[in-house]
Amino acid sequence: MLKAIVVVGGIAIIFHHIITLGFIMGYHKSIYNHRPGPCRLVPGIVNGSEDIFVLPNGLALISSGMDHFHINPNTDLIMHGFKGQIYSFDFNQPDNPAKVVPIEGGIDKTKFRPHGIDVWHDEKTGLVQLFAVNHGIEDTIEVFDLDQDRLVLKHKQTYRHKLMISINDIVATSKSSFYFTNDALNREGIKRKIESLLLCAWSTVVYFDGKDAKIVLDKGLMYNGINTSPDKKINLCKSINFKYNVSIQKRSK
């Protein structure tokens, strides 16, 4: 009798897990395309695109060539030749293709594989800085000064911290502080696969003040995209939990 109860209970747990995965993947939803007008493919980007930030002047910065291999070594072999780059696209000249933004400075470009990006604009000095999540040998945050006259990125700083585990996205709060999301507790390997398969709510949102970091939101199911409200008082963070999709956090002063 006990054996039958255990078997039935195990089957029920597995069935519930499969149903939960189905809800997360959105198989129960109907998706309708809504477009503001005609859409077309922007030429010039050859290694895919992951994130985009549009400056007030209409210039967009786009991250490309993200590294998937630390998560899944069996990713399409074609992607092994991808090159991590930042592209620009000018919405004031929409018929022109996207262009590679040259990078200057000490960063190893062969290990630059950008993911989420954000921009900090100092209105007093006019300084524009690009913050980029980088999946190199380890996950880091790379900071660049944008020379808008030459349209060149000058590498300024690399940030490392033990809480930078599996970074997905970033939102800058000053020239040296930012929030970022870890979409998992484990960066790679069998532990990462088990964590994803079992839907472990171990992802985090972390605040870095320029010197140290602390977790400000935890127990998330793959926290990924993060942004802040126009008044900079509220953070919005996207997760894949089917019960809720956006976490709202009031920022402390």
Q: 123 is written with which tokens?
A: 């209105």
Helix (H, G, I), strand (E, B) or coil at 21: helix
- Residues 86 and 99: their CA atoms lie apart, in Å, by 9
Closest residue by Cα to residue 20 from 204, 203, 227, 198: 198
- Residue whose entry in the numeric block shows the structure tokens 């594989």: 113
Closest residue by Cα to residue 169 from 247, 250, 90: 247
Question: What does the radius of gyration of the chain's CA atoms come to, in whole angstroms?
Answer: 20
Q: 160 is written with which tokens?
A: 């490392």
Report how far apart, in Å, the C-alpha atoms of 23 and of each of 14, 192, 195, 241 are: 14, 21, 18, 9
- What positions carry a catalytic annotation? 115
- Residue whose entry in the numeric block shows the structure tokens 């033990």: 162
- Residues 92 and 60: their CA atoms lie apart, in Å, by 10
β pairing state of 103-104 and 152-159: parallel
